[in-house]
Amino acid sequence: MNNLEIHTIESLKFEDLVSEYKERLYWHIRRMVISHDDADDVLQNTFIKVYKNLHNFNGESQVYTWLYRIATNESLTFIKKRKRTTHISNEEVQESLVTNLTSDPYFNGDDAQLKLQQAIDTLPTKQKQVFVMKYFDELQYNEISEILGTSEGALKASYHHAVKKITEYVTAH
């Protein structure tokens, strides 16, 4: 169990949450929005929302899954807003970001990692979320279920489909 999942409501301090969770939330957000600058904005928005709603946290979920849910929602809101302001589809924006990863100063992956990002980019939003949470963030299905509000059975099916599609994409390219 994560050492911070034993936090009680009474012991929640905003400074501690930022200190403990900023990196994990950043990487989750970064894998969703791709660009570092965008991830930086979304991370700050996430903690602003956490700060404003800290008194509303009722302890029914783990602290981490609560934070993760806010970060996930903020990422999706950001992606939707970006679609409205740029007047081009999310898929086109994401494709452009992934295509330009080679020129991104904060991407230093090799060819395999670049292909992996391109393959992830082809996935539907839900499958992408499940894959990122399971594979990179190493969350348990019950935690992902709590964050996304989807049954564990459906999550397992989504993850399997995602892995299969990625494997097929990388093999074909």
Partner 1 sequence: MKSKKENNKQQFNIPLGYFESFENRLLTELKFQELFPNKNDGFSVPAQYFEKVEQVILNQNKPKGKLVEYNFKTIAATVAAIAAVLLVLFNVVNPIEKEMQFDSLSITSLENYFEEEERVQDYLSAEELSTIENSTSIFDNETVSEELIYEYVDQDIVQSSLLDQ
Query: Residues in the site for partner 1, rule: CB under 8 A?
Result: 14-15, 18-19, 22-23, 26-27, 30-31, 36, 40, 43-44, 47-48, 51, 101, 106-110, 112-114, 116-117, 135-136, 160, 163-164, 166-167, 170-171
Closer residue to partner 1, CB minimum distance, 89 or 102: 102
Residue with tokens 């806010």: 70
Closer residue to partner 1, CB minimum distance, 89 or 99: 99
In whole angstroms, the minimum distance from the beta carbon of 121 to partner 1 comes to 12
Rounded Cα gap, residues 69 and 46, in angstroms: 10
In whole angstroms, the minimum distance from the beta carbon of 12 to partner 1 comes to 14
Cα-flanking dihedrals φ and ψ of residue 137, to 5°?
-80, -10
In whole angstroms, the minimum distance from the beta carbon of 92 to partner 1 comes to 21
What is the SS3 assignment for 47?
Answer: helix
Closer residue to partner 1, CB minimum distance, 14 or 88: 14
In whole angstroms, the minimum distance from the beta carbon of 124 to partner 1 comes to 18
Cα-flanking dihedrals φ and ψ of residue 57, to 5°?
-70, 120
Closer residue to partner 1, CB minimum distance, 113 or 125: 113
Nearest residue to 106 via CA among 27, 21, 24, 168 = 27
* Cβ contact 66:55 at 8 Å: no
* Cβ contact 119:127 at 8 Å: no
